[in-house]
Structure 1
Amino acid sequence: MDRIGPVDPTVADGKTPTVVVDGVHITYKVNGAKTGRGAATAALSRILSRRPDQRGGGREVHAVKGVSFAAYKGEAIGLIGSNGSGKSTLLKAIAGLLPTARGSIYTQGQPSLLGVNAALMGDLTGERNVILGGLAMGMTREEIHDRYQEIVDFSGINEKDDFISLPMRTYSSGMGARLRFSIAAAKSHDVLLIDEALATGDAKFQRRSQERIAELREEAGTVFLVSHSNSAVTSTCDRALWLESGTLRMDGPAKEVVAAYEAFTKKK
């Protein structure tokens, strides 16, 4: 079956689907016998081409197991679950960066994975990376020029020092994440996939981020948020998916799903 394709145009209950995940399984190899850049590159090549490991070593990880759901325009959906539950793997598959072993993913428009589409470079200044990231997100040079100051102000990285003129390798991880989110949030998206970006920054930045996500939803987009912060999910999303050991345990209103997940973790 096709891994990525146009979404079925059927409208359910008056809602237009933007992402349909149909019985998706995702597997990949983890090789422990050899380390280093060469091994990592070879492993990635095998994943993307679906070729088996010719050495016969390594362990196959079944990261996502038969997950199905549909997402609709205007929704903000949180993905929660324990470490290794398959949340980030599923997000990368929706973005088209990982193949499915079985099942299909259909999307309406181009999904944008925050931090990947805006592939920023450490040796370039923040200013140059705003341009590079904007182009990677599909913005024109004119759009980037018009929104440049808004992007910088939103990120908050220039509030104390002129960091925007320094190479990004001098930024903290939080500063880099804030700039990536600011670039991505400057453009409307059919489907925006956010992986832990809202865990960085102070309360002021998190509040601005949540307000911007609400605006993106009003612009008829769909937002997916992977977060270990249950409060970020309940304050930002109206729906949540709980993944555990690669399976979808619960899909429903964010507060109900988070409450069930928290009860589960207390028993462990």
Structure 2
Amino acid sequence: MADTATTETREAAMTDVQDTRVPTVVVDDVHIVYKVHGAGSGKGSATSALSRIISKKRSPAIREVHAVRGISFTSYRGEAVGLIGSNGSGKSTMLAAIAGLLPTERGAIYTNGQPSLLGVNAALMNDLTGDRNVILGCLAMGMSPAEVKTRYQDIVDFSGINEKGDFISLPMRTYSSGMAARLRFSIAAAKTHDVLLIDEALATGDQKFQRRSEDRIRELRKEAGTVFLVSHNNNSIRDTCERTIWIEKGELVMDGSTDDVMKEYEKFNH
């Protein structure tokens, strides 16, 4: 009897813990379809193009790509979730949809808080200097001028931009892709985010910067944020995320503990 009571108590405690988790992103049976314009889709006169628009006829050179097919999952505050899959599997598409940058064909995405997408293609102003981009980036994230002033040097130091010279005062167009990606991550990571979406950001920079990035993601999780990380670096996923979602050909293959999912994913790729 005592053993049964103990088991019931444990199960009740586990239920209480689960019930207190706060959902941050709910993806409900999401489908995303791209319309791809093939060769010849832009040919013809303006009159013929206008005629197609009025008659609502689709150009024969436009084809649809079903990039995400019926994916559903829920993330919770304090989680770091890895997204893995082969090239073209739909990982980055899924992140962009969570960020509100892509519409869903069917299904819905609900977020508790503002998602912030950080990726190697995130736009900074190439004609402005690094320091101007730091200031504008922080202001755009909602920091006050006083907060920007306080955090500015930490952002520059974290990025490592000035380790080999005064690059922060040079225009962004003079930066390598790795330097620009490190600065983007440093700016985004300076603020606590409700939902931070990272697309391959940790693949840039040397091992020292990658370790700093991984440490910062852990700090963001402690500050009640949720982090999604897309990466082809299996070690980054293992070091950063306790949960991993595997997407292949637009479909959810597996969602579970990182160790379990990575084992199956690595078997699939061998």
Is this a same-fold pair by TM over 0.5? yes
Q: For residue 227 of structure 2, give the secondary structure of its aligned residue in structure 1.
A: strand
Q: Partners in 1 of 2:97 and 2:232 — Cα distance?
A: 20
Q: Secondary structure at the match of 1:74?
A: coil
2:37 matched to which residue of 1? 31
For 1:212, the equivalent position in structure 2 comes to 216
For 2:221, the aligned partner's letter is R
Identify the residue that residue 17 of structure 1 maps to in structure 2: 23
Matched residue, 1:175: 179
Partner residue, 1:135: 139
Q: Distance in 2 between matches of 1:60 and 1:158?
A: 46
Q: Deviations over 1:72-118 (max 9, x none)?
A: 00000000000000000000000000000000100001000014996
What is the CA distance between 1:31 and its match in structure 2?
1.1
In 2, the alpha carbon distance for the partners of 1:251 and 1:197 equals 22
Find the counterpart in structure 1 of residue 4 from structure 2.
Answer: none
Give the corresponding residue for 1:123: 127
- Asked whether 1:245 is paired with 2:249, we answer yes
Other-structure match for 1:105: 109
Runs of 4+ that moved beyond 6 A: none
Unpaired segments ≥5 residues, structure 2: 1-16, 43-55
Deviation at 1:12, TM superposition (A): 4.8
Measured in 2, the distance between the counterparts of 1:231 and 1:53 equals: 49
63-72 or 111-120: which moved more? 111-120
2:3 is matched with none
Q: Which amino acid letter does the alignment assign opposite residue 35 of structure 2?
A: K
Q: What SS does the corresponding residue of 1:84 show, helix, strand or coil?
A: coil
**Residue in structure 1 matching 2:148, options 144, 147, 162:** 144
For these two proteins, the number of residue pairs brought into alignment is: 241
Partner Cα distance (1:18, 1:260) in 2: 27
Does the 8 A contact of 2:119 with 2:200 survive in 1?
A: no
Which residue is 2:266 aligned to?
262
Tell me the residue number matched to 2:75. Answer: 71
Structure 2 counterpart of 1:223, one-letter code? V
Cα distance in 2 between the residues matched to 1:221 and 1:116: 21
| SS in structure 1 of the partner of residue 28 of structure 2 | strand
Aligned AA (1:142) = A
Letter aligned with residue 70 of structure 1? T
Structure 2 counterpart of 1:108, which letter? Answer: N
Matched residue SS, 1:241 = strand
| Pairs within 5 Å for 1:53-92 | 54-92=58-96
**What is the CA distance between 1:145 and its match in structure 2?**
1.1
- The 1:211–1:53 alpha-carbon spacing in structure 2 relative to 1, beyond 3 Å, is farther
Shift, 1:148, TM fit? 0.3
Q: Which has the larger radius of gyration?
A: 2
Unaligned runs of 5+ in 1: 1-10, 37-51
Structure-2 separation of matches of 1:91 and 1:181: 16
Q: What is the CA RMSD across the aligned residues, in angstroms?
A: 1.8
Match of 1:20, SS state, is strand
From the superposition, tell whether residues 187 and 174 of structure 1 become closer, same or farther in structure 2 (CA, over 3 Å).
same
TM-score w.r.t. length of structure 2: 0.86
- Give the whole-Å Cα distance in 1 for the aligned partners of 2:259 and 2:143: 35
Q: Secondary structure at the match of 2:19?
A: coil
Higher helix share: 2
